[in-house]
Amino acid sequence: GRAWHLVARPQGWPKPEDFALREEPVTEPGEGQILVRNLYMSVDPYMRGRMNESKSYVPPFSLNRPMSGGAIGEVIASRSAGFAVGDHVLHDLGWREYAVVDATRAVKADAGAAPLSAYLGALGMPGMTAYAGLFEVASFKEGDAVFVSGAAGAVGSQVGQMARLKGASRVIGSAGSDEKVRRLIEEYGFNAAFNYKKGPVAEQLAEAAPEGIDVYFDNVGGEHLEAAIGALNVHGRVTLCGAIAQYNATEPTPGPRNLVQAIGKRLRLQGMIVSDHGHLRQQFVDEVGGWIRSGELKYDETVVNGIDNAVEAFLGLLRGDNTGKMIVNLGAE
């Protein structure tokens, strides 16, 4: 089976030459393992950080080894009592066609309950990030006005809708195209939205939220964070979830120049890592699963076909080619 290797650590924006698609032997599973044929794999912004040398909350990818990440596949051989041939599983050995997975690191995915790809998006890690980041980290409460950046993406699209469903007084989103902005309002029910490429964020946010905001869910950092600090009301809260505007920066990026406002406004800015919030998992599955089944919460996917195009899908994600979750289909029908 083929697998994508990282062959050079990108400087700034990754280039196709930093990656190579190579043939890997498909081995039999050992005791307690399963052999999986991957059907879908995820590309996620955090993977950019793993391409750097430096240590973070996830270890860097090794050079000249298969990369890894979320994937959904079908069990084709099993030496674990918990899994049978034909089962669908979620695991973290993506970026390859076949994976030998320790059974302890695989979770069954029910193809009857939701489309399999949803377990990489709305019902998976990004959905859980939205849920934990809004309700736990930002301590969202009914009546809050919520602003989310990256609002047409996998996490952001869910944040805005969850806030609406839980009684936000106003939901505002920013995204990088007019088509995405239209979708925020018409499909996801945001009250206001703007294209951050069309003018200063602070000005557009002030117009979209004349009474200020109580929660800012930050997927972007940089100019967006500074604008949000300016717009936040007293006792406002910020979930620092991502800073994609600076993931490819080669120099340290400037901090928000207005951070001093956090004192007078008694703001709380809190970073998050989704894996800390496992205790919310069942609540997330029940509540969000219900909203999806009833049609109250929508999710989109941008699907790129074929393992050959997986790097292109990742680069496209960083450029904003996706609406909703960026998924690579490795051969699912």
Task: Using CB under 6 A, list all residues that contact ligand NDP.
Answer: 44-46, 126, 129, 150, 152-156, 175-177, 180, 219-220, 241-242, 244-245, 272-274, 317-318, 320, 322
Strands 33-42 and 88-91: unpaired
Instruction: Judge contact between 227 and 238, C-beta under 8 A.
Output: no
Nearer to ligand NDP, 75 or 215 (CB): 215
Nearer to ligand NDP, 75 or 272 (CB): 272
Tell me which DSSP letter residue 133 carries: I
Instruction: Judge contact between 36 and 74, C-beta under 8 A.
Output: yes
Least distance CB 174 / ligand NDP (angstroms): 7
Q: Cα–Cα distances in Å, from 33 out to 62, 94, 109, 288? A: 23, 16, 17, 31
Nearer to ligand NDP, 230 or 242 (CB): 242
Nearer to ligand NDP, 164 or 180 (CB): 180
Least distance CB 30 / ligand NDP (angstroms): 31
Nearer to ligand NDP, 20 or 58 (CB): 58
Nearer to ligand NDP, 126 or 256 (CB): 126
Instruction: Judge contact between 291 and 165, C-beta under 8 A.
Output: yes
Q: Which amino acid is at 277?
A: H
Nearer to ligand NDP, 29 or 153 (CB): 153
Least distance CB 277 / ligand NDP (angstroms): 9
Least distance CB 298 / ligand NDP (angstroms): 14
**Helices H / strands E in the chain, number of each:** 9, 15
Residue whose C-alpha is closest to residue 150's, from 252, 79, 235, 221: 221
Number of Cβ atoms within 10 Å of the Cβ of 243: 18
Least distance CB 39 / ligand NDP (angstroms): 19
Least distance CB 185 / ligand NDP (angstroms): 14
Least distance CB 273 / ligand NDP (angstroms): 4
Nearer to ligand NDP, 155 or 330 (CB): 155
- For 30-52, letters b (16+ CB in 10 Å) and e give eeebbbbbbbbbbbbbbbbebbe
Who's near 330: CB < 8 A, 6+ residues apart? Answer: 38, 39, 40, 41, 97, 306, 307
Number of Cβ atoms within 10 Å of the Cβ of 85: 11
Least distance CB 257 / ligand NDP (angstroms): 18
Distance separating alpha carbons of residues 257 and 104, to the nearest angstrom: 46
